[in-house]
């Protein structure tokens, strides 16, 4: 099936219109009309070959929400017309210990990314959500609560699960004191989710202008990270911190704000190496950890949690024709807090 899309044809030129082929609906497949797709910073990193060499043409997009248009004969959990989502993964080995524990995101046999991965089913490479339709194995399709705005729900498929997973893994709940470094696409989700879990949330930001916004999202405190006095006052107060910053920065300053046995979890990935503050970790048995999205089961749990609490991303919706401009604005942190592409603009 020929499908309209936008693609990167190399690491340096703007995205352009491109027609791609989607496979016919197999017995275990779900065919989806894409309504909205979020723009993730990783789309830019991957398309520009900043993490590793990209395969072109590349159709980015792994924050996908749409309506089911067809299901295979063996599909039981999805029906035509249902609101569904597709996140960062569309397949895994299904055999390794991680897959057997519903942690496909840590598949040691090699998971298949929604775009830019070898496609074991159709051949070639996978194409993502900057397109009007997609066909996905039922085991990697998520049910999106109907009470959520579908455009605002799209970033939950990456930004939402990327922050939800570590909060759950480190057992954040009522009484927890949680820090969030950075109030962007990931950070604003972390604040909402941690607050809904019952945590007392502190946001670290370089911008004084974000204090009111952070508190509107659920933060109890805002610390200006460039203010030495405010950082000193926060020393030893936090059980757990999610660091969403994807640029080089000083980790020691945040390790100092942890309690004994506290953890600083990295979900932002800097292209430059970061210094490890070993002395600050040793004196306090503190840890620096990392976390990568979540498995399918946990992603569904996150969506249901967001449905219960009415949580979506704060977004700016754009037509596909503005995608290149949006990418440049993402690089300048000029968005509150996530761009979402309205695919109706590509179908017109």
Residues 245 and 220 in one domain: yes
* 324 is a domain residue: yes
Token representation of residue 24: 């016919």
Is 111 in contact with 92 (CB distance < 8 Å)?
Answer: yes
Residues 112 and 218 in one domain: no
pLDDT digits (tens, 9 = 90+) for 211-226: 999 999 999 999 999 9
Handedness of CA 45, 51, 56, 58 (dihedral sign): negative
How many angstroms separate the CA atoms of 245 and 232, rounded? Answer: 20
* 299 is a domain residue: no
- The count of domains in the chain is 2
Find the domain containing 68 and state its range.
Answer: 2-157+314-347
Judged against a pLDDT cut of 90, whether residue 282 lies above it is answered with yes
Residues 101 and 168 in one domain: no
Residues 147 and 183 in one domain: no
Residues 168 and 195 in one domain: yes
How many angstroms separate the CA atoms of 117 and 112, rounded? Answer: 6
Contacts of 83 (CB under 8 A, 6+ apart): 65, 66, 67, 143, 144, 145, 146, 150
pLDDT digits (tens, 9 = 90+) for 157-205: 999 999 999 999 999 999 999 999 999 999 999 999 999 999 999 999 9
CATH of residue 74: 3.90.180.10
Residues 254 and 231 in one domain: yes
Residues 166 and 151 in one domain: no
Q: What is the mean pLDDT of residues 16-28?
A: 96
Residues 115 and 236 in one domain: no
Residue with tokens 């910053």: 245
* 307 is a domain residue: no
How many angstroms separate the CA atoms of 183 and 98, rounded? Answer: 31
Give the model's pLDDT for residue 194: 98
CATH of residue 257: 3.40.50.720
């Amino acid at each position: 099936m020929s499908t309209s899309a936008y693609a990167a044809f190399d690491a340096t030129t703007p995205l352009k219109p491109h027609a791609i082929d989607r496979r016919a609906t197999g017995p275990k497949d779900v065919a989806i009309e894409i309504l909205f797709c979020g723009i993730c910073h990783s789309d830019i990193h991957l398309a520009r070959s900043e993490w590793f060499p990209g395969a072109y043409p590349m159709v980015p997009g792994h924050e996908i929400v749409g309506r089911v248009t067809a299901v295979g004969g063996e599909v039981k959990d999805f029906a035509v017309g249902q609101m569904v989502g597709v996140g960062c993964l569309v397949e895994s080995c299904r055999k390794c210990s991680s897959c057997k524990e519903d942690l496909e995101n840590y598949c040691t046999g090699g998971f298949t990314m929604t775009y830019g991965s070898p496609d074991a089913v159709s051949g070639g490479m996978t194409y993502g959500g900057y397109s009007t339709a997609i066909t996905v194995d039922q085991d990697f399709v998520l049910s999106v609560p109907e009470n959520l705005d579908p455009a605002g729900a799209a970033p939950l498929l990456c930004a939402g699960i990327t922050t939800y997973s570590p909060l759950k893994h480190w057992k954040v709940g009522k009484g927890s004191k949680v820090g969030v470094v950075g109030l962007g696409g990931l950070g604003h989700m972390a604040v909402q989710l941690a607050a809904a879990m019952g945590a007392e949330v502190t946001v670290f930001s370089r911008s004084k202008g974000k204090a009111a916004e952070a508190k509107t999202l659920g933060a109890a405190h805002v610390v200006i990270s460039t203010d030495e006095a405010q950082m000193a006052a926060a020393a030893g107060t936090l059980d757990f911190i999610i660091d969403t910053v994807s640029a080089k920065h000083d980790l020691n300053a945040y390790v100092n704000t942890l309690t004994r046995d506290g953890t600083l979890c990295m979900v932002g990935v800097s292209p430059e190496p970061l210094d490890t503050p070993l002395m600050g970790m040793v004196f306090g048995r503190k840890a620096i950890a990392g976390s990568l999205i979540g498995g399918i089961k946990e992603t569904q749990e996150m969506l249901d949690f967001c449905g219960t609490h009415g949580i979506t991303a704060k977004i700016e919706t754009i037509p596909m024709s503005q995608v290149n401009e949006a990418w440049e604005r993402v690089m300048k942190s000029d968005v509150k807090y996530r761009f979402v592409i309205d695919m109706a603009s590509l179908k017109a």
